Amino acid sequence: MQNKLKIVKYPEKILNVSCREISPKEIPGLKDLIEQMYQKMREEDGVGLAAPQIGKNIKLAVIEVMNERYTIINPRIVRSSDKKNVLEEGCLSVPKIFGFIKRAKRVKVEALDENGKKVKIKAEGLLAQALQHEIDHLDGKLFIEKARELFELKEDK
């Protein structure tokens, strides 16, 4: 089945808007959207996808790292390490642009999952980076605003 979701590209305004929280009663109605988001993220070779990237102004994101799926609704970073890593990052909404970003090495995130259950995620490495990136999207922030240096991926001819 063809996925009808479209990736919103920079400089669309929705990418710079802080998203609204999702009420618990809304969560059951999001199951199809969540599955479509995972499908679209995989089609685009992404690690994560936030709702504003598909034009939805809600605090919802999906992440897949090492074949482990993380659906985060109304996520909050409740702890982050003082130790930082400078990491290369890209974004499906800012195609072919990459940059170096300083991110916390470890984070603890609290959120609701796709069933409305409270979850706590302790993460490091790529998962910590993806969580911070997607939560930034939900707060209306793009990686290009935080990057130390940006560069363009050139296509081989």
Q: So which residues are the catalytic ones?
A: 134
Cβ atoms of residues 128 and 89 within 8 Å: no
Point out which residues pair with 76 in neighbouring strands: 110
- Total Cβ atoms within 10 A of residue 26: 13
Q: Where are the alpha helices (DSSP H) in the chain?
A: 31-43, 125-138, 143-146
How far apart are alpha carbons 132 and 70 in whole angstroms? Answer: 13
Cβ atoms of residues 49 and 133 within 8 Å: no
Tell which residue, 71, 105, 68, 109, has the closest CA to residue 86. 105
